[in-house]
Amino acid sequence: MTDFRDRERAEEAKFAMDEDTAFRVAARRNRLLGHWAAEKMGLTPEETDAYAKAVVQADFEEAGDEDVIRKVLGDLTQAGCEIDEAAVRAALEEKSVEARRQLMSES
């Protein structure tokens, strides 16, 4: 019986660690996407940091990535940048890979 409980605890710990890693990757990805968008909009370094934080916060509005894409695309459009949703989605994927790579190199 203890073997089963030990295995169950190990699975729960692995699940918790996987969830934590996914959260950290998503947060870093959103911050990187915020920096990317801020560069396109020509923001100052201070504005860039604030904007990156706002993009991370936007991810808490609803499940999935649509809230982040909607925010970034809307802000880029409002700033007069010629960019479409496909380009934002491509940048999101690129930043996801970069975020995972950064986190793995830190461990």
Residue 88's CATH number: 1.10.790.20
| Alpha carbons 87 and 64: distance in angstroms, whole number | 18
What pLDDT, on a 0 to 100 scale, did the predictor assign at position 1? 62
Number of domains observed in the structure of the chain: 1
C-alpha distance from residue 62 to each of 9, 19, 68, 69 (Å): 30, 17, 9, 12
Q: Please, are residues 51 and 33 in contact by the beta-carbon 8 Å criterion?
A: no
Beta strands in the chain (DSSP E): none
Q: Is the CB of residue 67 less than 8 Å from the CB of residue 76?
A: no
Per-residue pLDDT band at 7 (split at 50, 70, 90): confident
Q: What would the pLDDT profile of 28-68 be if each residue is shown by its tens digit? A: 999 999 999 999 999 999 999 999 999 999 988 888 899 99
Assigned token pair, 76: 């880029």
Task: Please tell me the pTM assigned to this model.
Answer: 0.85
Please compute the mean of the pLDDT values over residues 96-105 and round it to a whole number: 94
Give me the domain span that covers residue 102: 2-106
Question: Residues 65-99: pLDDT tens digits?
Answer: 999 999 999 999 999 999 999 999 999 999 999 99
